[in-house]
Amino acid sequence: MENLGANIFPIVVVVLAVLLVVVVGVLTVGKGGGSRAWMIGGIIVLALLALGFGLWSYREWPTDVVVPVDEAPADAVVEMGDDSRFNPAQITIAVGDTVEWINPGRTFSHTVTADPRLANAPDIVEIPPGAEPFDSGRIPPGESYRHTFDVPGVYVYLCQTHTDEGMVGTVIVE
């Protein structure tokens, strides 16, 4: 029942489109528009149907995160859900380990930003000397990002879009 609005949307679009054709046809037949009016109405219906179903099909569908068969599992996983938190907020790994950030949420995109030049709060970001800064870019729901840590030290990263909500995480590389 929670998706009733999403399931009824195509029906509403079809009903509105048919009503529009009837109104256009009725209004123009009396003015001598005849079959041309019905043709214009039909074109309008097709355009509205294409637009309506295009928008309906673009909505977010539930997805599962799938790791490709040829990719080894990450050494650590951090989730970034709709609660705008990194979970866990702090992890400890070994040099050479790979961390995967997964966005299992259904609403928000997130970033994993450990680059002071790109961060909206550069004073929060911290990387050890000799380490390369990194940034995931936007990670939409159902997607993930991986980074391998080759330099020991403390990495403090943030989500560009949810820093104000305290979405900050730490990776300690030993």
Task: Write down the pTM of the prediction.
Answer: 0.60
Question: What residues make up the domain containing 141?
Answer: 76-173
Copy the structure tokens of residue 50: 């294409």
| pLDDT tens for the 174 residues of the chain, in order | 344 444 566 666 667 667 666 676 666 665 665 666 666 767 777 776 666 666 555 444 444 444 555 578 899 999 998 899 999 999 999 999 999 999 998 888 999 999 999 999 999 999 999 999 999 999 999 999 999 999 999 999 999 999 989 999 999 999
* Domain assignment present for 70: no
Q: Do residues 165 and 84 share a domain?
A: yes
Q: Which CATH number is 143's domain given?
A: 2.60.40.420
Phi-psi region of 45 (alpha: psi -120 to 50; beta: other; left: phi over 0): alpha
Q: Do residues 131 and 53 share a domain?
A: no
Q: Do residues 159 and 81 share a domain?
A: yes
